[in-house]
């Protein structure tokens, strides 16, 4: 991951949970900042970057940014043997966001069935 993007994401810190009824324009602008940064990350990402991205996930949801992180995690090159299935499973198991973890667990199941 580009060090400038990493630095900016670290400065923003962990994402808050969205509250559709009470979030201010400031929170919505924050969500857009995350989205811009996350969308600018080049794929595939490294396992190390995956751990960092999981660490900034909200506990629940934050305006779709959790889905962008899920898709970035799925870009990790397990199929090309750059990352072992066991390393990838450890990454997924470290996820504390139940929505993202459930989604990534399906990917792990698929990988286990299709990678020998």
For residues 40 and 5, the answer to whether their CB atoms sit within 8 Å is: yes
Looking at residue 103, what is its pLDDT?
96
Domain-wise residue ranges, the chain: 3-115
Of residues 42, 39, 49, 40, the one with CA closest to residue 83: 49
Looking at residue 116, what is its pLDDT?
60
Euclidean distance between the first and final Cα of the chain, in Å?
A: 29
Looking at residue 1, what is its pLDDT?
85
User: What is the separation of C-alpha 35 from the centre of its chain, rounded to a whole number of angstroms?
Assistant: 11
Looking at residue 94, what is its pLDDT?
98
Looking at residue 81, what is its pLDDT?
66
Looking at residue 36, what is its pLDDT?
98
For the chain, helix, strand, coil in percent to 5 are 60, 0, 40
pTM of the full structure? 0.93
Low-confidence ranges of the chain (pLDDT < 50): none
Looking at residue 66, what is its pLDDT?
96
Looking at residue 82, what is its pLDDT?
79
Looking at residue 31, what is its pLDDT?
97
Instruction: Respond yes or no on whether the N-terminal peptide bond of residue 44 is cis (omega within 30° of 0).
Output: yes
């Amino acid at each position: 991951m580009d060090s400038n993007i990493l630095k900016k994401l670290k400065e923003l810190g962990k994402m808050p949970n969205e509250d559709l009824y009470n979030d201010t324009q400031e929170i919505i602008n924050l969500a857009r900042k995350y989205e811009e940064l996350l969308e600018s990350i080049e794929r595939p990402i490294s396992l190390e970057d995956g751990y960092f991205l999981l660490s900034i996930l909200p506990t629940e949801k934050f305006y779709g940014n959790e889905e962008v992180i899920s898709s970035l995690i799925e870009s990790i090159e397990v199929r090309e043997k750059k990352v072992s299935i066991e390393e990838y499973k450890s990454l997924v198991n470290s996820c504390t966001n139940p929505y993202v973890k459930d989604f990534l667990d399906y990917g792990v199941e698929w990988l286990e069935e299709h990678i020998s």
